[in-house]
Structure 1
């Protein structure tokens, strides 16, 4: 989870940097993606950040299972939707060139 989330916000950072916007943290990247309409539910992305940070401090099976359940039930769909929007709005439009 941590690696995927880190790659996502860094990808967003590069996309926004190409358009002249310097964003160097995940929360700012997700807010900007929300403003662009690439993310529909910013609360889920805030929860993704919280879960990512919490995984460093998970010491029992119950907490781990709760995070795992959220990954499967909510996060996968949101991540897929973001990647589809990046594909449609950035890659297909060749914004980087």
Structure 2
């Protein structure tokens, strides 16, 4: 299994875009997203875009809240990022994994 970190956010912010053109993280392949909340109170989501500079759009089913379990996605765009959209306290991070 291969894993790639999407980043760690501690405020309302956008994470660094991850390029999904490096095997095995390829556009169209199933990817498991594993969120990790460190006493996180807020909301985050996954966003995707065709270019590193955006525009980024929310990935359907990609909303992450406190206590979220791992879930599977299939991306249709080249870049994926974690974005914190509401923040009170703590930290949120997420990693991608695939076979």
TM-score category (smaller protein):
under 0.3
Normalised by the length of structure 1, the TM-score is 0.24
Tell me: higher relative CO, structure 1 or 2? Use CA pairs within 8 A at least 6 residues apart: 2
Return the TM-score normalized by structure 2: 0.23
Higher helix share: 1
Structure with larger Rg: 1
Higher strand content, 1 or 2: 2
